[in-house]
Amino acid sequence: MINQNKESKITLLGAGPGDPDLLTLKGVKALQTADVVLYDALTNEALLEHAPADAIKVYVGKRSGEHSYPQDTINKLMIDYALNYGHVVRLKGGDPFVFGRGYEELDYAASYSIPVSVIPGISSSIGVPGLQQIPVTHRGMSESFWVITGTTTSGEVSNDIYHAAQSNATVVVLMGLKKLSKIVEIFKAAGKGNLPTAVVQNGSAEDEKLVVGIIDTIENLVAQENVKAPALLIFGEVVSLHPSFKTLVKQYAAIS
Which of 17, 86, 196, 213 contacts ligand SAH by CB under 6 A?
17
Q: Evaluate whether 178 touches 194 at the Cβ level (below 8 Å).
A: no
Burial bucket for residue 148 (CB in 10 Å: 0-12, 13-18, 19+): buried
Distance (Å, whole) CA 37 – CA 89 = 5
Q: For residues 128-157, which are near ligand SAH according to CB under 6 A?
A: 128
Which of 91, 200, 211, 215 contacts ligand SAH by CB under 6 A?
200
Q: What b/e sequence results for 48-72 when a residue is b if at least 16 CB atoms lie within 10 Å of its CB, and e otherwise?
A: bebbeeebbeeebbeeeeeeebeee
Which of 69, 85, 99, 187 contacts ligand SAH by CB under 6 A?
99
Q: For residues 52-91, which are near ligand SAH according to CB under 6 A?
A: none
Q: Which stretch binds ligand SAH (CB under 6 A): 135-143, 159-167, 186-194, 228-236?
A: 228-236
- Residue positions annotated with a catalytic role: 40, 62, 175
Which of 75, 87, 95, 116 contacts ligand SAH by CB under 6 A?
95
Q: What is the dihedral of CA 95, 148, 40, 204, to 10 degrees?
A: -70
Q: Which residues bind ligand SAH (CB under 6 A)?
A: 17-18, 42, 93-95, 98-100, 123-125, 128, 174-175, 200, 202-205, 229-232
